[in-house]
Amino acid sequence: MPTHERELLQLDQIVSFLIVPILVNGGFWGYIGFDDCHTERRWSASEESILVAIAASIGGAIKRQHTEEQMRYQAFHDSLTGLPNRTLFDHCLSQSLLQAQHSGELMAVMFLDLDRFKTINDTLGHAVGDQLLQETTLRLRACLREEDTIARWGGDEFTIVLPNLKTPEDVTKIAQRITNALKPAFHLAGQDLYVTSSMGIALYPHHGRDAETLLKNADAALYCAKEEGRNNYQFYATTLNSQASQLLTLDHHLHHALERNEFVLHYQPQFNVATGEVTQMEALVRWQHPQLGLVSPTTFIALAEDNGLILPIGEWVLQSACAQAVAWQAAGLLPHRVAVNLSARQFQQPDLVERIAAILEQVGLPPDCLELEITETAAMRNIDYTTTVLHELRQMGVRISMDDFGTGYSSLSYLKKFPLHALKIDRSFVTDLVDNSEDVAIINSIITLGHGLNLTVVAEGVETQDQMERLRSLNCYEMQGYWFSKPLPLFDATQFLQTQSLGSRQPTSLPWEIDTSIVAVPHPF
Ligand code: C2E
Ligand code: MG
Ligand code: MG
């Protein structure tokens, strides 16, 4: 032994010692030994083996303890972010509630959801999505106080308990801090991602006295925040709640709607007024809700985009519309083409092209009998991606139209890049067409632009004869709207096509009318 160590041992009168390492998972953890304070001696083999056995048993016990701790940790934490999970959150929330009941202080429960996270996940992949969640967690943690608890509720949803508050403004400050913390870009996968969040807040005791009510109300407030256009926070308010809770209920029911076969397709014809022919039928989905009746897609498509159900719903629409086109073709009915709307999220699906090809193959519809309608907003999210996908679809023979044209991100340079077949001018421009000269000017330039690019220009939402005539005078011949026909349920749509194929032989003699309240305007030809 070095002299100073020997001196230390001598202080304790140790003259001989035997030490054995304690290993945990093959690594050194510590040691255990025998000391002899009387004689300097050799240790026997049995003394050594006793010590080795004790060291092994201590090592084993420590390992077990570590494993148990790890399992306990895993049972209460989210493995991706290291944040408490729901179970631990529920526990912390009830502890904070007890404390608030004692102290009489305010407490808040907050639901936080990252806006459009699912799109990032779908477009850039799960690895980037995971990284984003981890980095967001770091930023969120930095905004909170020591006593606050933040948990990962699931997906991109976080829940936060804010105890010991003096006034509701204390929560406002934290919500503002969170908003500011998320503002700088996240540098992930070589790009700058900008993320915002929506937050819903419920206060104890104002908005609930027990954990369940506070959570439910914070969730309802989150819905309101999303409805308000995202990137904001909302306190729970009883007056706001009826709409939010209606949405919550819808969201809940939407999950079962597909398996219960509650979706139906209506079909709206698109006309060429120059030839008097129907060029295609647009499939428009409706939700036949057992209590609410027919729910409009404007209500549930956005909801389905948020919760991801748009993918199976969209797939069902495609499949059904294509199968219907085949059935009409088999019955000898014209037109041969159906149009199907694709939502932004559906469009971003990595295997979209394969899925469409598989459906066409399965139902036996030629690709040029399908037109896909995408919106500018969906197309502009990632121009390179859009260009590639559209080229692949075009190569397959599928037609593509730009729906609601003029309402989105009208960067005209991309129109040249995208292999489109048609532009559908949004209804809002058609509505005031007759008396508003600005709308005339806009429509006129869209028509000129479309024709210049060799595209079919379709006017949507034509409701009156005046509008129809004005459009025709501007050289727009393809139209869709109530003036011609509302979207029709399958039976009526089929009947309409039957009349239509008779009508096309005798164009003027058969004004088309059917006895259902859905069709308000008779066919003018
Ligand atoms: P859109 O694709 O632009 O469809 C046209 C909408 O305008 C339809 O509303 C149609 O009923 C309505 N419309 C047609 N002509 C007139 C008219 O003359 N006057 C008025 N006031 N309205 C007219 P709908 O069926 O409620 O659908 C709304 C939107 O929901 C659609 O707009 C489309 O973006 C979306 N949507 C519908 N079905 C689907 C679907 O299967 N998948 C996806 N992703 N979106 C869909
Ligand atoms: Mg459409
Ligand atoms: Mg449209």
Mean pLDDT, to the nearest integer, of 358-374? 97
pLDDT at position 512, please?
40
Is pLDDT above 80 for 264? yes
What tokens were used for 230? 């995202």
pLDDT at position 440, please?
87
CATH architecture of structural domain 3-76: 2-Layer Sandwich (3.30)
Task: Name the strand (E) or helix (H) holding 459.
Answer: strand 456-459
pLDDT at position 320, please?
97
Distance 18 CA to ligand 3 centre (A): 86
Distance 113 CA to ligand 2 centre (A): 29
Q: Which atom of ligand 1 is nearest to the CA of 321?
A: 41
Q: 108 falls in which pLDDT band (50, 70, 90)?
A: very high
Distance 441 CA to ligand 3 centre (A): 20
Distance 48 CA to ligand 1 centre (A): 85
Ligand at shortest distance from the CA of 404:
3
Digit-coded pLDDT (tens) for 301-333: 988 987 789 999 999 999 999 999 999 999 999
Q: 160 falls in which pLDDT band (50, 70, 90)?
A: very high
Q: Which of 364, 260, 270, 373 is nearest to 314 (CA)?
A: 373
Helices assigned H by DSSP within 432-489? 437-452, 465-473
pLDDT at position 413, please?
78
Calculate what percentage of the chain has a pLDDT beyond 90. 64
Digit-coded pLDDT (tens) for 432-463: 887 777 888 889 999 999 999 999 999 999 99
Say which residues have a Cβ less than 8 Å from residue 170's Cβ, sequence separation at least 6.
Answer: 106, 162
Distance 404 CA to ligand 3 centre (A): 4
Q: For ligand 1, atom 46, which residue shows the shortest CA distance?
A: 341
Mean pLDDT, to the nearest integer, of 272-285? 95
Is pLDDT above 50 for 470? yes
Higher pLDDT pick, 138 / 417? 138
CA distances from 136 to 113, 150, 289 (A): 11, 12, 38
| Number of continuous H segments (helices) and E segments (strands) in the chain | 19, 19
Q: For ligand 1, atom 7, which residue shows the shortest CA distance?
A: 461
pLDDT at position 514, please?
35
pLDDT at position 420, please?
95
Q: 506 falls in which pLDDT band (50, 70, 90)?
A: very low
Distance 443 CA to ligand 3 centre (A): 15
Q: Which of 200, 181, 215, 227 is nearest to 89 (CA)?
A: 215
Digit-coded pLDDT (tens) for 289-305: 887 788 899 889 988 98
Contact 342, 393 (CB under 8 A): no
pLDDT at position 350, please?
87
Mean pLDDT, to the nearest integer, of 459-485? 95
Say which residues have a Cβ less than 8 Å from residue 423's Cβ, sequence separation at least 6.
Answer: 401, 402, 405, 446, 449, 450, 455, 456, 457, 458
Q: Are strands 106-114 and 27-36 parallel, antiparallel or unpaired?
A: unpaired
Distance 141 CA to ligand 3 centre (A): 43
Of 265, 301, 401, 478, which is best to mutate to test ligand 1, by the most ligand atoms within 8 angstroms of its C-beta? 301
pLDDT at position 9, please?
87
Contact 464, 453 (CB under 8 A): no
Q: For ligand 1, atom 45, which residue shows the shortest CA distance?
A: 341
The DSSP string of 74-114 is HHHB-TTT--B-HHHHHHHHHHHHHHHHHH--EEEEEEEEE
Q: 278 falls in which pLDDT band (50, 70, 90)?
A: very high
Of 284, 483, 519, which is best to mutate to test ligand 1, by the most ligand atoms within 8 angstroms of its C-beta? 284
Digit-coded pLDDT (tens) for 198-233: 999 999 998 999 999 999 999 999 988 888 778 889
Cα(285)–Cα(320) distance, integer angstroms: 10
94-103, 218-227, 377-386: which is most confident: 94-103
CATH of region 86-238: 3.30.70.270
- Provide, for the chain, the percentages of residues in helix, strand and coil under a 3-state DSSP scheme, each rounded to the nearest 5: 50, 25, 30
Q: Which of 500, 503, 502, 504 is nearest to 492 (CA)?
A: 500
Higher pLDDT pick, 244 / 457? 457
Is pLDDT above 60 for 240? no
Q: For ligand 1, atom 42, which residue shows the shortest CA distance?
A: 341
The class level of CATH for 249-499 reads: alpha beta
Mean pLDDT, to the nearest integer, of 464-468? 93
Domain boundaries, the chain: 3-76, 86-238, 249-499
Q: Is 97 exposed, middle or buried (0-12, 13-18, 19+ CB in 10 A)?
A: buried
pLDDT at position 518, please?
31
Helices assigned H by DSSP within 144-293? 168-182, 211-227, 238-257
Mean pLDDT of the chain: 88
pLDDT at position 520, please?
29
Say which residues have a Cβ less than 8 Å from residue 33's Cβ, sequence separation at least 6.
Answer: 17, 18, 19, 20, 51
Mean pLDDT, to the nearest integer, of 260-271? 95
Q: For ligand 1, atom 44, which residue shows the shortest CA distance?
A: 343
Q: Which of 227, 222, 196, 386 is nearest to 298 (CA)?
A: 227
Q: 249 falls in which pLDDT band (50, 70, 90)?
A: low
Helices assigned H by DSSP within 19-44? none
Residues with CB under 6 A from ligand 1: 268, 284-285, 296-298, 301, 314, 317, 341-343, 373, 403-404, 427, 460-463, 480-482, 487
Cα(100)–Cα(202) distance, integer angstroms: 14
Q: For ligand 1, atom 4, which residue shows the shortest CA distance?
A: 284
pLDDT at position 522, please?
31
Higher pLDDT pick, 1 / 515? 1
pLDDT at position 101, please?
92
